[in-house]
Amino acid sequence: MDERAGRTLIVGLGSPILRDDAIGLHVARVLADLLPEHRFSVVEAGAAGLRLLLLLEGWERAVVIDALREPLDPHADLCPGRLNRLSLDQLHSTLTLNTSHEASLADTLALGRMMGMDLPGELLIFGIEVEDPFTFSEEMSAGVTERVEAIAREIAGHCLHALGASAHSA
């Protein structure tokens, strides 16, 4: 039996050496302890684009978590540690999911589908606003660090409720 059947892939994105950019990785580590292993597979990844596409292949459901370098609302102030649920067309401000070096997640998924890849039909995307994603450091800023547990609990709630209904009907 395929280990992906009936389960959801959770991908925490970021760089462990770029201060707050590591938020997706830290949240994924907490989620690995919060979510039942028989329903969720949690991985950490340092890249998006085509490498992320290969991670997503074969999963029915997936959740992607990344750092946001600016608020979604252009009229709002940046609030480090604020969790945002994103649609594919809102990915312009995520750090890993949309870089000048790789295709955006929306473009990558479209390409994968055109190539006939088996990609998730359900995809939740979370962006976490961060203070300093560009400084070389293995420590996140205090405001972001203190929110990791709460962010992970909120995402776990979304995963268990939003994705749980479809997982039980599978």
Q: How confident is the model at residue 49, as a pLDDT? A: 75
83-86 vs 122-129, strand pairing mode:
antiparallel
How many whole angstroms separate alpha carbon 13 and alpha carbon 22?
A: 7
Q: How confident is the model at residue 106, as a pLDDT? A: 75
Residue 160 lies in a domain: yes
Residue 146 lies in a domain: yes
* Tens-level pLDDT at each residue, the chain (170 residues): 578 888 999 999 999 999 999 999 999 999 999 999 999 999 999 877 788 889 999 999 999 999 988 777 778 888 999 999 988 777 655 555 655 446 667 778 888 899 999 999 999 999 999 999 889 999 999 999 999 999 999 999 999 987 654 444 44
Residue 2 lies in a domain: no
Beta bridge partners of 61: 8, 122
Q: How confident is the model at residue 1, as a pLDDT? A: 57
How many whole angstroms separate alpha carbon 96 and alpha carbon 12?
A: 10
**CATH code for the domain of 160:** 3.40.50.1450
> Buried b vs exposed e over 137-160: b needs ≥16 C-beta within 10 Å?
eeebbeebbebbeebbeebbeebb
Q: What is the dihedral of CA 110, 115, 117, 122, to 10 degrees?
A: 20
Q: Quote the pTM value.
A: 0.86
Residue 55 lies in a domain: yes
| Residue whose tokens read 């597979």 | 41
Residue 3 lies in a domain: no
Domain count, the chain: 1
Domain that holds residue 45: 8-169
